[in-house]
Amino acid sequence: MLSLLSSKPGKVFKRENILDLVWGDEVVVGDRTIDVHIRKLREKLGEDYIKTVKGVGYKFEF
């Protein structure tokens, strides 16, 4: 997920796109999977790099 988000800094990735691009169509994941992974990335990187765009998705900034 970090690789995807950091590949295009500033671009907002919709939650559905993240699910498709990271896990694909053949894997069933829960609704909260992205939230858990985002939280873990923020714990490791700090709060300043991954931004939530309310109602849309997430983006990486530096």
Residue 59 near residue 10, CB atoms below 8 Å: yes
Torsion, Cα of 17, 21, 23, 26 (10° steps): 90
pLDDT at residue 25, rounded to an integer: 81
Q: Would you state the pLDDT for residue 48?
A: 95
pLDDT, tens only, 1-49:
999 999 999 999 999 999 999 998 888 888 789 999 999 999 999 999 9
Burial class of 27 by CB neighbour count within 10 A (0 to 12, 13 to 18, 19+): exposed
CA separation for the pair 24, 46 (Å, rounded): 27
Domain ranges within the chain, ordered by starting residue = 2-60
Q: What is the pTM of this model?
A: 0.87
Query: Apex CA 43: angle with CA 41 and CA 44, to 5°?
Result: 65
| CATH of range 2-60; options 2.40.10.350, 3.40.50.300, 2.60.40.10, 1.10.10.10 | 1.10.10.10
For residue 62, what pLDDT is reported? 87
